[in-house]
Structure 1
Amino acid sequence: MAQTDRHQHVNGIPEHKVADAGGAAACCCSRRMALITRFCISTLLLVVVLTVALVLTLGGPCKALECSDHGFLHKDGAPRITNGVQSTHKWPWQASLQVNNNHICGAVVIGNRWLLTARHCINVRWMQKLSVLLDTLNLDNQDAWRVGVSKVIQHPGENENNDLALLELQDPLDITSCSSRNVRPIALPLQWQRWNYSRCYITGWGSLHFLGPSQKSLNEGMVNIVKASECEMLGNDENELGKLCAGKPSEGVDSCQGDSGGPLVCEEREDHWVLIGLTSYGRGCGGSSHAVYTRVTSYIEWIRVQVQEDDFCDKGHSSQ
């Protein structure tokens, strides 16, 4: 009897050969998967190493920045706001208070949700239209940071006697070391602190002359703080504890319309700035008189009560 092939044929190929081919393919796939796995693990380890190195280089994870530790000063800058100079470095606490995206006053960042401005800048009818513009030298900058205002707390006193208000933002500001924005809070002075500063500046987008238009570029001017007895606008009035005078009349350096609510800051120590005043009012612009500013030290407790939490910059701040 003729012998028959006991192996089945698959499409004309003996079954054992098909099985042998399948085994070879499975072995090949296994080796390929092992290579891919080793490559993925190596890549993951490389990413981890690079991430750790980057974190160490940057000084660790995101952290809150010290108050006013990113202020800039023109070491050789000439004076100007009215008769000042255009700012070429950002004052990171400077903000523009706007109605319908139009500048009306200055404002100052004091925490991640709070700004200060002048009370006379606020009209309750504007509440739904208020915003602040941050991180810019020029008001036409399309990359500037605009944040809406959710609440305004005005000081209950008369405008000229208690000329300040708090602005609460709709969204908190990222003021950590990881932020790409150049926005930092200014330190508040200690209550009833006395000072003897040699460098004090005013900044704003206000007019360069009386009744002139607001400016698109931020201006700055170096000023002197004077005693009430030396200030034509106040005189030796013991009731003017909430005010102070500053300017440089001999050079015409002065604040003007549109600068109201903006900061008067002094350098407490190198590159560490303190908010001394808020621009309030004056007689003309750039004349022979000093301008009047709201004295921030007189209102530290009021600010603290309104904010009701330790959410503004008065920590780590030493008296000179």
Structure 2
Amino acid sequence: MIVLLAVVTLLSFCSPASSFALFLPRVSRTDDAIVIDLDGVRQTLSYQDRTFYGPITNPGFVPFNPYPSVRQQEQTPNGWAYAFEHPSPPAPDRQKPSPVCGAGPAIAARESTSERISARSDAKKGSWPFIVALRKIGGSLFCSGSLVSDTRILLAAQCFEKMSLHEMSGVTVLVGMHKADQSDVQMTRRISKVILHNRYNTFTYANDIAMIVMDAPVIFSRSVAPVCLPPASTDPDQHLELRIIIIIKWKNWIIIIVIGSKEDKSTVLQQARVTLMPNSECKVDPTIGKYVTDNSLCITSDDNDKFTCPEDVGGPVVALPSPGAWTLIGINSYTKNCETTGLKTRVSAYRDWIDQYMK
């Protein structure tokens, strides 16, 4: 009897069901977020062809099912549709002093300095120290984001909406990169945790915001530093008075700061100047107007430069409200093809959400 029990226990432990459950990410839900904990996930998961929107082969293998059935708009009108295990509150990290944020080109409010950005140009190496790129297992870049602390990155929720567990666990964060060929990356990190806004809507781009927690802190330097965050606000036009806003991109990628950019083939980071659209004007735009809410931010270019492309998802829109304080005011969310206007997630509308997960 003892021998039989031992054999059954061993077979149970070694079974595909137990093995899969042992290394499946822990998915939990808070009041306003979906938290995917990737710590301890094996890189050799055999479910690389299964996304968060397709059922696994045998749901009985897992103690909970993070995969909803194939999405239809009427089934998921409010965004993510998951079945969750009972959540437990995350353990707070030890408080650390915040580093100085907002490093970037020294542009004065009236642009009276030599550091002037008025048209598309190559960015100087290290001039935008908060920009990061995300790389898939195969080596291709697919999203960009912004450092907001030594362990956290803000970007768009849609960066992860079609990724499998295997793909997500294998994403590499490239820090301090200037060349698009990835030859000068200063640091790399893996993802420890993905925090998605639980009301992100893939059909309307509402609440398109997410946070990454890296598996180890980055080391700050002159070329690696966090961007500042704006104060919380419900005013959709709070940033209209700002004059300095710029975009940064690799090839078809854009990170926004206020400036405008043409589609380019440069191998280094690009920067360009753009302008903000009033929210009321953005709501009647023929391309993106139907997706605009009070939590949105829209940018455009006076000279019809096509600077925003679909590949630019997750990239930052930054402004300079005061010298030496580059501030993340938007996250690149939606552009149809490459257009002169683009829909962004307004960061100040989600400041309370962000603050909850910065600890």
Specify the TM-score bucket, using the shorter chain as the normaliser. Answer: 0.5 to 0.7
Aligned counterpart, 1:174: 219
- Specify the alignment match of 2:274 in structure 1: 223
- Look up the SS of the partner of 2:354 in the other structure: helix
Report the alpha carbon displacement of residue 216 of structure 1 after superposing the two structures with TM.
Answer: 3.7
- Match in the other structure for 1:86: 122
Normalised TM-score (structure 2): 0.59
CA contact 1:106–1:117 (8 Å) conserved in 2 = yes
CA 1:213–1:252: 2 relative to 1, 3 Å: closer
Distance 1:253 1:111 in 2: 31
Q: State the alpha-carbon separation in 1 of the partners of residues 142 and 264 from structure 2.
A: 11
How many Å apart are 1:64 and its aligned residue? 6.2
Structure 1: distance between partners of 2:176 and 2:339: 27
Structure 2: distance between partners of 1:115 and 1:143: 17
Q: Go from structure 1 to structure 2 and tell me whether the alpha carbon gap of 1:275 and 1:102 turns closer, same or farther (over 3 Å shift).
A: same
State the partner residue of 2:326. Answer: 273
Cα 1:143–1:226, aligned 2, differ >3 Å: closer, same or farther?
closer
Give the match's secondary structure for 2:321: strand
Does residue 251 (structure 1) correspond to residue 309 (structure 2)? The answer is: no
Distance of aligned partners of 1:271 and 1:135 in 2 relative to their CA distance in 1, 3 Å threshold: same
Task: Kindly state the Cα deviation for residue 69 of structure 1 after the two structures are TM-superposed.
Answer: 3.2
Partner of 1:75 in structure 2? 115
Select the residue among 148, 168, 171 that pairs with 1:127: 168
Amino acid at match of 1:264: V
Aligned twin of 1:136: 177
**Corresponding residue SS for 2:320:** strand
For residue 261 of structure 1, what is the aligned residue in structure 2? Answer: 314
Distance in 2, matches of 1:296 and 1:112, equals 19
Higher helix share: 1
Query: Alpha-carbon deviations, 1:154-200, whole Å to 9, x = none?
Result: 1112130011110000111122xxx4x61110111000062321000
Aligned to 1:104: 142
Unaligned runs of 5+ in 2: 1-96, 108-113, 255-262
Q: Please, what is the CA RMSD of the aligned residues?
A: 2.7
**What amino acid sits opposite 1:110 in the alignment?**
V
| Corresponding residue number in structure 2 for 1:295 | 346
Name the stretch that deviates more: 261-270 or 244-253.
Answer: 244-253
Change in CA separation of 1:142 and 1:155 when aligned onto 2, cut-off 3 Å: same
Q: CA deviation at 1:143?
A: 4.6
Q: CA, structure 1 residues 72+137, in 2 after alignment: closer, same or farther (shift >3 Å)?
A: farther
Partner SS for 1:137: coil
Structure number, greater radius of gyration: 1
The equivalent of 2:357 in structure 1 is 306
CA change 1:206–1:106 in 2 (3 A) is: farther
Separation in 2 of the partners of 1:208 and 1:151?
24
Q: Which residue of 2 is the match for residue 282 of structure 1?
A: 335
Q: For residue 194 of structure 2, what is the aligned residue in structure 1?
A: 152
Distance 2:249 2:307 in 1: 11
DSSP-derived class of the 1:220 partner: strand
Q: Among the aligned pairs, what percent are the same residue?
A: 24
In structure 2, how many angstroms separate the alpha carbons of the residues matched to 1:72 and 1:286?
A: 29
- Cα distance between partner residues in 1 of 2:242 and 2:253: 26
Residues paired across the two proteins, number: 233
Cα deviation for residue 132 of structure 1 reads 1.0
Which residue number in structure 2 is paired with residue 17 of structure 1?
none
Q: Could you tell me how far 1:124 is from its partner in structure 2?
A: 4.2
Query: Deviation of residue 235 (structure 1)?
Result: 4.1
| Cα 1:301–1:124 shift into 2, 3 Å | farther
Name the residue aligned to 1:66. Answer: 100
Letter in 1 for 2:176: D
Q: Secondary structure at the match of 1:258?
A: helix
Q: 1:143 to 1:274 in 2, by over 3 A?
A: closer
Who is 1:240 aligned against? 293
Contact preservation (8 Å) 2:103, 2:129? no
Matched to 2:357, the amino acid is Q
Instruction: Measure how far apart 1:257 and its partner are.
Output: 2.8
Tell me which residue corresponds to 1:39: none
Q: Is the 8 A contact 2:253 2:312 kept in 1?
A: no
Which residues of structure 1 form unaligned runs of 5+? Answer: 1-62, 310-320
8 Å contact 2:310–2:335 — kept in the other structure? no
Instruction: Give SS of 1:251's match.
Output: coil
CA deviation profile, 1:222-253 (whole Å, cap 9, x unmatched): 1101112222145498x702211002053315
Q: 1:172 is matched by which residue type in structure 2?
A: P
TM-score where L is the length of structure 1? 0.66
